[in-house]
Chains A and B, each alone.
Chain A
Amino acid sequence: MNPFSDENVDAIKAWPGILLVASSESELGHRGRTVRRVTTARFLDTTTWTARPARSPYGQPAADVLLVATGSIDERAKRYRGPFALLAYERSGAVRYRLDFQRPFTESAYGDRLYVGKIDGRKTRVYDARTGKLLRRIPGTDVEPAFSWSPPS
């Protein structure tokens, strides 16, 4: 640790009662490069306050699955490194489905809809997040759902 170091703990609600908790440290390394490393990634069950290891520190909850993207950035070669896939994990840890892509992608989810787009963030495909079924292709758009509202009865 040095004066420029930082430590963060992030929590994502993966399923009801289960959080994905990940901590990461970053510090100033050689020649001004920031060195960042994930120290722990665990699923924390808040009903029993027990934890089990998680395979990835990142995830996107959608419907009843947790979506985890594969792929990384090769900092030396300055490019993305595959395979580029999206895995949907069930609460038990089983993979419900896997979506493979040719190129780096971005994803977001709202309710039971999964939106996948190009690396610039523009969404081009809509999936059913529960099954991974492609519902439709759409013209690239920046529009994303923010909230839903039901008219009062």
Chain B
Amino acid sequence: MALLSALVAIAVGCAAHGQRAQTRGAKVFELANYPFERRGYEGLGSSIREIDPNTLAPRTRRGLRLGGYTERWVFSPGRREAAFGLDFGELVIVDLPKMELRARLRLGSPDVIVRPIGWPRPDLLFALVCRDAGKYGCFDNRLLLIDPKGPRQYASFDLNGGADGAFDQRTRQSVVFVAPERLHPARLLIAEQTGAIHEVELTKLLVGQTAGRFPRDRHTRTGRGGFAAVAEGALPPSRRPRGQPQDTAASASRAMDRDDEPVQR
């Protein structure tokens, strides 16, 4: 059941990101994008700025420019700092009371996307990186262990598949869901705040790409993971939702297993 909860957390983690209930005295920030065109570059940059949630009016004239485009951030254990992952292969750390950049850590080439997952300890941050290939996806996914104090990179692990993750504030664990590129069981990585990483293979959740039905067309189908584990095999039949014929993604995986052949490369 804990495994299922972790999967659900991943499935909804991104949707709920940034939507936490406002607490009294909390400052609300916007995350704005600005084009790099004026400086002669392509792409978008991001900036943060405090706003009034009742009027959406900015409370400061200028925002704090972070660098590249960002959509994922985590807070430090004391919530004094926030780490933003940028699309330029960088991780920036912002001192929120001072509203200034404290550090900028280069983790890869400019086509690398950085997504921090969890910051369980002052000297340990988990982040995912992958190489952006536009509409084809994001490849070479890796899990990084970073020391935000340095800042420096401790270690890097090849995940061998697409990945997404979420952080559990209560247990201070980072959970990473890995979907292999070829049809294979999905994997779950549970990263402890000690730095230890446990790996679980979800044997009943097949995800990945298979070849199209007709060998001459090179189109592929993808069975995505995410929520699929809830019904297929994980719950005993007596506890499955009544009237729900089959879990959709899981049944899609079964269909692919039956109809299609694995991708030959």
Contact = CB atoms under 8 A, between A and B. Distances in A.
Binding partners A and B: yes
Interface of A: 1, 3-13, 19, 21, 23, 39-40, 42, 44, 46, 49-51, 61, 109-113, 115, 123, 126, 135-136, 138, 141, 143-152
B73 A12 contact: no
Given A123-B56, A148-B20, A149-B27, A42 B241 contact: yes
B80 A152 contact: yes
Interface string B8-32: 1001100110111111011111111
A3 B217 contact: yes
B56 A9 contact: no
A21 B226 CA distance: 11
Contacts of A39: 248
B17 to A, nearest CB: 8
B54 A135 contact: yes
A125 to B, nearest CB: 11
A138 B248 contact: no
Contact of B30 (A6, A12, A145): A145
A150 B27 contact: yes
A7 to B, nearest CB: 5
Contacts of B4: 46, 49
A42 B20 CA distance: 23
Nearest to B222: A6
Contacts of A7: 248-249, 252
Contacts of B26: 148-150
B32 A51 contact: no
18 contacts: A11-B11, A11-B12, A11-B227, A19-B227, A39-B248, A44-B230, A49-B235, A51-B241, A51-B244, A126-B55, A138-B55, A143-B58, A145-B56, A146-B31, A147-B20, A149-B82, A150-B25, A152-B78
B31 A8 contact: no
Contacts of B75: 149
Nearest to A145: B28
B255 A148 contact: no
B187 interface: no
Contacts of A12: 12, 15
Interface string B216-227: 010101101011
B97 interface: yes
B233 interface: no
B152 interface: no
Contacts of A152: 78-80, 97
A110 B21 CA distance: 8
